[in-house]
């Protein structure tokens, strides 16, 4: 799978774009003109579209679209501050026609806004979805913009990444290349709003209203109604309220928020909002980009790539995953670090000049070659280097790590017949996800030092021996726990940690599983108190090398607050329960010959 190629930024990354004017507003104003259009969709709804075209008319130009729910400001005659972005200015230097569009129902576009609008595979007549809207937009642009070359690309990060996936599903012949970046894929299984059925409370409370505040009519200025969250004792503020309390505090206007709480299980309402339903018959070239330390949509990048490759075995689909936080690859100032860890120097410039711009130039301008652009590029934290692969699959070669007695982590299956670890999970004193919880979720929680958690009695910690050689791991992490509860439900948080010789315990991957969904996300089941029960789940893929001299650690706990909501630890409706419903639960993790709790990871050479 792996090709013997080490991509050194210093030796191999030669700038392919003339970006000297990236910080020159005069250059952009003198070389581009702006036009605003209201493009009619097939049902008559008009979408606001801002078009920045090169003044140069001696040649034709490709079109690059970004569709967004976050506004296309500035509106009117004022030019976009394109020079603030080295990535955007690279496309201006290349002579692209740059297009930004407000999606249906947001800012200056007409129509009704629907969060993660379901994809309709068999549209007819005036039926619309996000794929049809981008199809109609591309059709209008190629037929009405002067001096375009008839080729269209679509790109976007985060929510605009979702719209980019829908662009690939539009099947317009002019759309030759798309790049979903940190794309929303499934808001129940692993992206912003839930992980494995557990409600991402802090994200839902803080981010949810920004894309759920009603907008009665098209407007240039749109202010989301937010809850007044204190800057001090944020942890205590969340601890005082249940999900039901937040729903009432937000009020009846926040329909999507209320819909989420009325659909606690992975029912048809959620399933039809999974972007994977749109990933069939893809003909455009696709570049999936994400960050292994993306706190919002790490899951979405891996799963979008997986779905497109699965449904379209011969598609030109490429994957780039760096040691990045959410969208950090777009900014040189953010691309080299996550939290307090520095992973490289010039990673954002390398991505722009050696990956993204060449990808679009090849498909939209017919320039250059992609022969030297690997199908898959993964940045391995720990050793901090890029490695390239052919089409990515989870490695078949695996290593199993077993939870063992006395807080040990072993590569051998347990031999003891009676070994277990017990802790009490108390919803009135949940485990925080950071030692100091603030109003905003820090990007660095994804690789934060976990020593603060290891000190708690409600966190079970298992640590391996010092490694005598490096261990390069990649792909999804499979978790298998054998547990018993004193109640009828609980959550299980598992964290994979790299312990360095200086004592730091760096989080490599952590995720949560709502226990009631252990057998089915659509049909939850209560636990039988005292009965040993198997809980399996999969954590999003990693690309990390544990260096010689380091130790591998696994932590298991039953809360991760307020990143995720508290489980009342009873089999009841969590979204409508009261404070009185929350009960302590004794959790026992078994790690013996009969019940060998473990995690397993993929290995690469």
- Token readout for 13 is 């990354």
Distance CA 252, CA 250 (A): 7
601, two tokens: 């990871």
Rounded Cα distance between 145 and 61, Å, is 10
Picking from 276, 300, 308, 298, the residue whose alpha carbon sits closest to that of residue 375 is 308
The answer to whether the beta carbons of residues 170 and 41 sit under 8 Å apart is no
Q: How many CA atoms lie within 13 A of 280 on its CB side?
A: 7
Ranges of each domain in the chain: 2-186+273-389, 196-268, 398-603
DSSP result, 459-474: SEEEE-PPPSS-EEEE
Contact between 218 and 110 under an 8 Å Cβ cutoff? The reply is: yes
454: enclosing H helix or E strand: helix 451-454
250-274 per-position pLDDT tens digit: 988 899 999 999 999 999 999 999 9
pLDDT beyond 60 at 482: yes
Q: Report the alpha-carbon distance of residue 59 to residue 420 in Å, rounded.
A: 72
How does pLDDT run across 145-192, given as a tens digit for each residue? 999 999 999 999 999 999 999 999 999 999 999 999 999 999 999 999
Q: H or E element: which one contains 137?
A: helix 130-144
How does pLDDT run across 413-439, given as a tens digit for each residue? 999 999 999 999 999 999 999 999 999
Is the CATH number of domain 398-603 2.60.120.260? Answer: yes
The 3-state DSSP class for residue 36 equals: strand
Give 287's strand partners.
Answer: 318
**Mean pLDDT rounded to a whole number for the chain:** 94
Q: What distance lies between CA 19 and its chain's CA centroid?
A: 29
pLDDT tens figures, 382-402: 999 999 999 999 999 999 999
Half-sphere exposure for 213 (CA within 13 Å, toward CB): 17
Q: What is this structure's pTM?
A: 0.96
| Residues 248-280 as b or e (16 or more Cβ within 10 Å = b) | eebeeebebbbebbeebbbeeebbebbbbbbbe
Q: Provide the 3-class DSSP secondary structure of residue 169.
A: coil
What backbone torsions phi and psi does residue 92 show, to the nearest 5 degrees?
-65, -40
pLDDT in tens, 532-577: 999 999 999 999 999 999 999 999 999 999 999 999 999 999 999 9
Q: Domain 2-186+273-389: give its CATH code.
A: 3.40.50.1820
Residues 20-75 pLDDT 10s: 456 788 899 999 999 999 999 999 999 999 999 999 999 999 999 999 999 999 99
Q: Is the pLDDT of residue 14 over 50?
A: no
Helix (H, G, I), strand (E, B) or coil at 320: strand
499: three-class secondary structure by DSSP: strand
At 115, the pLDDT band (50, 70, 90 cuts) reads very high
Q: Categorise residue 475: left if φ over 0, alpha if ψ from -120 to 50, beta otherwise.
A: left
Q: Kindly write down the DSSP assignment for every residue of 267-315, as one continuous string.
A: -HHHHTT-GGGG-SS--SEEEEEEETT-TTTHHHHHHHHHHHHHH-TTS
> What is the pLDDT, as a whole number, of residue 507?
98
Q: How high is the pLDDT of residue 21?
A: 59
d(CA 317, CA 151): 18
What would the two tokens of residue 179 be? 């790049």
Judge whether 14 and 353 are in contact, CB under 8 Å.
yes
3-state SS, residue 318: strand
pLDDT more than 70, % of the chain: 96
Task: Give me the half-sphere count of Cα atoms (radius 13 Å) on the Cβ side of residue 261.
Answer: 24
Element (H, E) at 377: strand 376-380
Q: Comparing 75-89, 184-198, 233-247, 486-500, which segment has the lowest mean pLDDT?
A: 75-89
* Cα–Cα distance for residue pair 33/17, rounded to 1 Å: 21
Name beta bridge partners: 511. Answer: 494
Q: Residues for the chain: how many in total?
A: 605
Mean pLDDT calculated for residue range 212-237: 90
- Three-state secondary-structure class, residue 152: strand
Q: Do the first three CATH levels of 2-186+273-389 and 398-603 match, i.e. the same topology?
A: no
Percent of the chain scoring above 90 in pLDDT: 91
Higher pLDDT, 216 or 102: 102
Residue carrying structure tokens 């798309």: 178
Q: Give the pLDDT of residue 4.
A: 40
How high is the pLDDT of residue 24?
82
């Amino acid at each position: 799978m792996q090709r013997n190629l080490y991509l050194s930024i210093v030796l191999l990354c030669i700038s392919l774009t003339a970006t000297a004017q990236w910080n020159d507003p005069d250059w952009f104003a003198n070389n581009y003109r702006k036009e605003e259009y209201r493009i009619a969709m097939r049902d008559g709804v008009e979408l606001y579209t801002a078009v920045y075209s090169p003044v140069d008319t001696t040649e034709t130009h490709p079109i690059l679209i970004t569709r967004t729910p976050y506004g296309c400001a500035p509106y009117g005659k004022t030019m976009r501050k394109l020079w603030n972005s080295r990535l955007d200015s690279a496309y201006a230097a290349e002579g692209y026609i740059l297009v930004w569009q407000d999606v249906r129902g947001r800012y200056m576009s007409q129509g009704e806004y629907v969060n993660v609008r379901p994809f309709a595979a068999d549209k007819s007549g005036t039926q619309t979805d996000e794929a049809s809207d981008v199809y109609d937009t591309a059709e209008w642009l190629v037929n009405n913009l002067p001096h375009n070359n008839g080729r269209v690309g679509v790109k976007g990060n985060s929510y605009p990444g979702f719209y980019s996936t829908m662009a690939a599903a539009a099947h317009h012949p002019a759309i030759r290349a798309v790049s979903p970046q940190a794309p929303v894929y499934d808001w129940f299984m692993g992206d912003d709003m839930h992980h494995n059925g557990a409600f991402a409370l802090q994200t839902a409370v803080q981010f949810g209203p920004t894309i759920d505040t009603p907008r009665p009519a098209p407007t240039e200025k749109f202010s989301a109604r937010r809850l007044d969250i204190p800057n001090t004792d944020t942890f205590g503020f969340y601890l005082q309220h249940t999900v039901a309390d937040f729903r009432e505090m937000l009020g009846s206007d926040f329909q999507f928020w209320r819909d989420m709480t009325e659909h606690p299980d992975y029912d048809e309402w959620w399933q039809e909002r999974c972007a994977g339903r749109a990933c069939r018959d893809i003909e455009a070239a696709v570049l999936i980009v994400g960050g292994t330390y993306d706190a919002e949509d790490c899951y979405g990048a891996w799963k979008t790539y997986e779905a497109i490759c699965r449904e379209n075995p011969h598609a030109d689909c490429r994957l780039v995953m760096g040691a990045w936080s959410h969208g950090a690859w777009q900014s040189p100032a953010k691309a080299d670090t996550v939290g307090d860890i520095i992973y490289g120097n010039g990673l954002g410039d390398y991505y722009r000049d050696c990956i993204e711009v060449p990808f679009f130039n090849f498909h939209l301008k017919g320039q250059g070659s992609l022969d030297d652009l690997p199908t898959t590029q993964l940045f391995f934290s720990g050793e901090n280097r890029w490695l390239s692969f052919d089409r990515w699959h989870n490695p078949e070669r695996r290593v199993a790590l077993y939870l063992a007695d006395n807080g040990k982590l072993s590569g051998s299956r347990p031999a003891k017949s009676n070994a277990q670890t017990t802790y009490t999970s108390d919803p009135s004193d949940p485990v925080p996800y950071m030692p100091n919880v603030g109003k905003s979720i820090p990007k660095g929680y994804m690789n934060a030092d976990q020593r603060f958690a290891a000190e708690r009695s409600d966190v079970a910690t298992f640590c391996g021996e010092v490694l005598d050689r490096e261990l390069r791991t990649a792909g999804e992490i499979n978790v298998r726990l054998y547990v018993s509860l004193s109640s009828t439900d609980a959550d299980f948080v598992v964290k994979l940690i790299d312990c360095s010789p200086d004592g730091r315990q760096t989080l490599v991957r952590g995720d949560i599983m709502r226990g009631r969904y252990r057998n089915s996300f659509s049909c939850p089941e209560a636990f039988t108190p005292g009965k040993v029960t198997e809980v399996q789940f999969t954590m999003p893929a990693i690309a990390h090398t544990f260096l010689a001299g380091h130790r591998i650690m696994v932590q298991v706990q039953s809360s991760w607050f307020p990143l995720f909501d508290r489980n009342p630890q009873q089999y009841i409706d969590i979204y409508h329960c009261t404070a009185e419903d929350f009960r302590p639960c004794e959790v026992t993790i078994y790690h013996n010959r009969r019940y060998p709790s473990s995690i397993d990871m993929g290995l690469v050479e």
